Structure 1
Amino acid sequence: MSFQVAVDGPAGSGKSSVSKLIAKKYGFTYLDTGAMYRACAHIKTAFADDDASFIKILENTDMRFEPAPMGQRMFINIDGNETEITDIIRTPEITAMVGEVSAMRDVRRLMTAKQKDLAKRSEVIMEGRDIGTVVLPDADVKFFFTASPTERARRRQAEWQAKGLEVPLEQLENDILKRDEMDSGRKEAPLKKAEDAVELDTTGLTIDEVISIMSAEIDRKRRT
């Protein structure tokens, strides 16, 4: 039987950074569903003429991940042509449109099916916004991350700075609040805490502290 860990939370709450480290610690497969929706945004921009053609392309697109030192590389295969999109999907342009694309009903239907299939293949830690409620409702362990909007904006700013980009903190905080509203208010699989999820406010916690809390819960569930 596979062991499944679901991690949900809004943008910048720290779920990606910690999920990668938990995956490394336990030998889990790390699955970033946000990257899949970013891939959808890239496909819509680069290959589709309209919504109908976009969904048709998605239905015939294969997505796969490869382990990397600090996370994973991502590839898409369209009509037999495979392309790495690891860096492309992390640009400000994709970030700006992923919320709108991920709210599309057909997009969520297709991605949820792919995510469920990926989770069957090995022990996984999967992070996103609807994992504990929709994708893996029977996950062995569920976590829901939160953090203050200002703290989340600071983290995003540090990520952009590491890539050589300067984005004003106020703009990032406004973008985060806008994305929160879109994610929580959409009709299809809105962002919300699963009833049986452990909630973690990461605002004042170090990464090591968060890992310690998560590890204790994972170890407890693995013993039962």
Structure 2
Amino acid sequence: MTDHPEVPVIAVDGPGGSGKGTITQMLARRLGWHLLDSGALYRLTALAAEQQGVSLDDESALVRVALALDVAFEPTAPGEPVKVILAGVDVTREIRTERCGDNASRVAVMQPVRDALLQRQRDFRQAPGLVADGRDMGTVVFPDAPTKIFLTASAEERARRRYSQLKAAGLNVTMSDLLDEIRVRDERDMNRSAAPLKPASDAQVIDSTGLSIDEVLSEVLIAAGQT
């Protein structure tokens, strides 16, 4: 279990593009709590491995990379992604590419890598509270979290959102490619043996398709008893 069970946690799980990143940052700012972007840890492991010339098939080497990660999260302006610092360098943009996301999904299926990152994630649980963004926050990392949310949206809606984000960032992408990548990643994440993507048995499932960010935030705050 976690080191600080008395500290409240709002665990927000769900597939990529469901709005978890935006919602968890809004929650953390509104409540004045710490924020954990757990998916960034897997992306950082994949990025650091690539930088160090480590193969994504070399499980033992990936574990060493994960254990040695020098990571910090810094808050940013509302609507912006959390700033991610790797070994003193801002890699926020690098870890948000589709390539890095796909590599992170490959890394995340390896149980030894997940084990290496587990305690690091739990260490973010500090007073006054933690908002944890991920895919197994409520099922594995913080199973005793008093509030568990599973935020989802249709694959088409998530592809549309991702397309808008990437085009705004000046990247050349196509909707069809993004949709294909999202479906492949969903299939892999839901069927992996290590912590498959699924709602915790006591999670509240919120489908954000067709909802505004404010409407989703309202539902999450109600579920967390923080209205």
TM-score under structure 2 normalisation?
A: 0.89
> Which residue does the alignment assign to 2:190?
184
Q: Please say if 1:35 is aligned against 2:47.
A: no
Mapping of 1:4-43 within 5 angstroms? 4-43=9-48
Q: Please say if 1:74 is aligned against 2:48.
A: no
Q: Please say if 1:194 is aligned against 2:200.
A: yes
> Which residue does the alignment assign to 1:148?
154
CA distance in 1, matches of 2:180, 2:121: 30
- The structural deviation recorded for 1:184 is 0.7
CA contact 1:105–1:188 (8 Å) conserved in 2: yes
1:163-187 deviation per Cα after TM superposition (whole angstroms, max 9, x unaligned):
0123111111110010001111111
CA contact 2:34–2:126 (8 Å) conserved in 1: no
Moved more, 116-125 or 126-135: 116-125
CA distance in 1, matches of 2:64, 2:133: 26
> Which residue does the alignment assign to 2:98?
92
1:122-180 deviation per Cα after TM superposition (whole angstroms, max 9, x unaligned):
41110110000000000010000111111111011011011012311111111001000
1:39-72 deviation per Cα after TM superposition (whole angstroms, max 9, x unaligned):
0110111114342333223222232212221342
3-state SS in 1 of match to 2:72: strand
Q: Could you tell me which runs of 5 or more consecutive residues in structure 2 were left unpaired when the two chains were aligned.
A: 1-5
CA contact 1:153–1:173 (8 Å) conserved in 2: yes
TM-score under structure 1 normalisation?
A: 0.91
Change over 3 Å in CA distance of 1:40–1:122 after alignment to 2: farther
Moved more, 207-216 or 89-98: 89-98
Q: Could you tell me which runs of 5 or more consecutive residues in structure 1 were left unpaired when the two chains were aligned.
A: none
Identity of aligned residues (%): 37
CA distance in 2, matches of 1:33, 1:206: 24
3-state SS in 1 of match to 2:54: coil
> Which residue does the alignment assign to 2:3?
none
CA contact 1:47–1:54 (8 Å) conserved in 2: no
> Which residue does the alignment assign to 2:67?
59
Deviating runs (4+, > 6 A) in structure 1? none
1:177-214 deviation per Cα after TM superposition (whole angstroms, max 9, x unaligned):
10001111111111110011010011021111111111
CA distance in 1, matches of 2:187, 2:68: 31
Structure with greater proportional helix content: 1
CA distance in 2, matches of 1:169, 1:57: 33
CA distance in 2, matches of 1:47, 1:169: 32
CA contact 1:30–1:71 (8 Å) conserved in 2: no
CA contact 2:166–2:173 (8 Å) conserved in 1: yes
Q: Give the total of aligned pairs.
A: 217
CA contact 2:12–2:148 (8 Å) conserved in 1: yes
CA distance in 1, matches of 2:65, 2:185: 25
Mapping of 1:106-185 within 5 angstroms? 106-120=112-126, 122-185=128-191
> Which residue does the alignment assign to 1:210?
216
